[in-house]
Structure 1
Amino acid sequence: MAEVKNTLYGQSVIADEDFTADQLNYLIDFAIRLKAQKVKGIFPPYLAHKNIAGIFMKPSTRTRSAFEIAAADCGAHFVYLDAQGSHISTSESIIDTAKVLGALYDGIEFRGYKQRDVEDLAKYSGVPVWNGLTDTNHPTQMLADFMTVKENFGHIKGINLAYLGDGSDNVANSLLIGGAILGVNVRIVSPKGYQPKAHSVKLANRFAKKSGSKIMITDNVKRGVKDANVIYTDVWLSMGVPESEITKRIHTMLPYQVNEKVMLETGHASDGQLIFMHCLPSYHNMQTINAQKIYEKYHLEPFEVTDSVFNNARYARQFQEAGNRMHSIKAMMIATLNPKKF
């Protein structure tokens, strides 16, 4: 029997639109199998003797942990690099960095700001590069998200996913594009001025024509969440939001807060066909320094989701989702660095 070709081998993961539906479904199914292997204590050396660099221009909990553990599980060695402990961006350009790291490592992860930086790393390094987050894309989050959807519903195609909040951010963009590729009915429910860019909507609609996905961009919460199976949100005040915009943002976003009323308006609050997801970290109570500072200065609670939803075992899947970052990243690294199809 002829060996099935791994179409992801040697490929970089730069933007959500770089995937085909078959590739995404393969990675998600492979990640689920890898998760089952880990539960059983099985750790095949898929990436033995591989060296991986992780560039972190932004701080990270889940992305860094996921890459480091995934690499270790597969027999690879992971090296953490940031702006303070390296020459990246300050005294060495991204292009020069790409050429240096490409000569030393088998793969490079990048978590930073400009999409152009991760594109240049892929272009000039000569090795697979993985986008761990930029201002416009978050493909490794998207993989974990749809892995979590499949684990909860048994399928992805035809699921209704409503994202509430800032629809112009990287997570919303990745859900929109990735969901359209996979046949998910994606609703971006956001106030005017915070909706996805026209280019992203056009791209999503192009993919939707092939997959059968139905795309909705709306500022009407009731319309957007009706029949939703997944309610998803992200922080309103992500890294880099100017202090001058904080009050305006919170007031603008408050009608898009995920609360019990929103969950009830889906029509699935009591039939087991509804979950809540969040890429984390989250403002859902006053137990973080940043939330306390915002309240003390502006007398506003920056809660994109209420504590009652965030900690409701019936809906809440955000910690399952966070754990799946590691399994899906592991699948992605193996598929792009190992020529075999597992």
Structure 2
Amino acid sequence: MGSVKQSNTSLQTDHLLTVADLTGDEIMVLIKEALVMKKQVKEGTPHPYLQGKTLGMIFEKSSTRTRVSFEVGMMQLGGHALFLNANDTQLGRGETVSDTAQVLSRYVDGLMIRTFSHEMLEEFADASSVPVINGLTDPHHPTQVLADLLTIYEYKGKLRGLKLCYVGDGNNNMTHSLLQAAALTGMHMAVASPEGYAPHDMIFQQAKDKGEENGAKLAVHDNPIEAIQDADIVVTDVWASMGEENELAERKLRFESFQVNKELTQFAKSDYLFLHCLPAHQGEEVTAEIIDGEHSAVFDEAENRLHAQKALIKLLMGK
């Protein structure tokens, strides 16, 4: 195995709990780092930047892309990923979050948590002496959005000045993290959601304020045609996230006119890019014609979870 020089680049933050923990410049550093390592993977060039290091992964929510991408990413970086089902740890038997965090910090070099409560994640990070990464919480999904930004940059060659339109449930983790990302990178973003499903007021206002500093215009619409006008990127997600399945019947009625289909996307730019974090429910939030069509980059986006997260864990755990 050839030797690999450890990068001197790192992030200011000790943890990644939300996209807002980063700066716009750091997002671009992550994207460029991810592109380098993606090329190394394609060329078969070893890059064991985290040789001998271990990432602990706690899952309270089910996962395909998150688990596989982090496990494979750590292996490609020369380290090891340790899967921990929350029900199989002492957390499931009543041990405090703080105690668990302090104990695991003595064993591993970083922790990734995929859970429901963002407050639990924050409490874990406060007690941890190693980097903690948000693999998903109810209000935030930063690792997915880093992969989205990487995909957009690959296809469009830039982020600043592009218009992203999100269509669907505005009060979910994808919308919130995309708003924070747009604000930091100078992208414009329009959210199209039915009344009662707009983004969280505080998250939206904080993103809007930050966006004004970076030339990003953020807006919320209840008319998807208004929102998608001249969009460079169109994004959607399932209408009912994990834990909201009992609301699906009602949501189908409320979101019926917010489906991403050929009729709606004709108002976007002719070369628009379609993204979806997957899994998708074809025929609900998006038609097969769109997600399987020429504008879709959903499988490149899914692959980029691996490369974006490798850049993240390298810069956090390689300090």
Report TM bin, short chain: over 0.9
CA contact (8 A) 2:146 2:308 kept: yes
Q: Does 1:88 align with 2:86?
A: no
Runs (4+) of structure 1 exceeding 4 A deviation are none
Aligned equivalents of 2:276, 2:305: Cα separation in 1: 12
Q: Does 1:283 align with 2:274?
A: no
Q: CA deviation at 1:11?
A: 1.5
Q: Does 1:187 align with 2:190?
A: yes
Partner of 1:54: 57
Q: CA deviation at 1:242?
A: 5.1
**Which of 258, 261, 266 is the matching residue for 1:259?**
261
Partner of 2:299: 319
Q: CA deviation at 1:9?
A: 6.5
CA contact (8 A) 2:13 2:21 kept: no
Aligned equivalents of 2:40, 2:262: Cα separation in 1: 37
CA contact (8 A) 1:185 1:213 kept: yes
Q: Secondary structure at the match of 1:80?
A: strand
Q: Which runs of 5+ in 2 are unaligned?
A: 1-5
Q: CA deviation at 1:316?
A: 0.7
Aligned equivalents of 1:27, 1:120: Cα separation in 2: 26
Aligned equivalents of 2:145, 2:245: Cα separation in 1: 26
Q: Tell me the matched-pair count.
A: 314
- What CA deviation, in whole Å up to 9, does each residue of 1:8-40 have, x standing for no partner? 167210111111111111001111111011100
Normalised TM-score (structure 1): 0.89
Normalised TM-score (structure 2): 0.95
Q: CA deviation at 1:5?
A: 5.8
Q: CA deviation at 1:91?
A: 2.6
Aligned equivalents of 1:130, 1:144: Cα separation in 2: 14
Identity level (%): 35
**Which of 280, 303, 311 is the matching residue for 1:331?**
311
* Paired residue type of 1:255: S
Q: Which runs of 5+ in 1 are unaligned?
A: 286-302
Q: Does 1:135 align with 2:148?
A: no
CA contact (8 A) 2:37 2:47 kept: no
Mapping of residues 14-93 of structure 1, within 5 Å? 14-93=17-96
Partner of 1:288: none
Aligned equivalents of 2:15, 2:229: Cα separation in 1: 37
**Which of 175, 188, 195 is the matching residue for 1:172?**
175
CA contact (8 A) 2:52 2:79 kept: yes
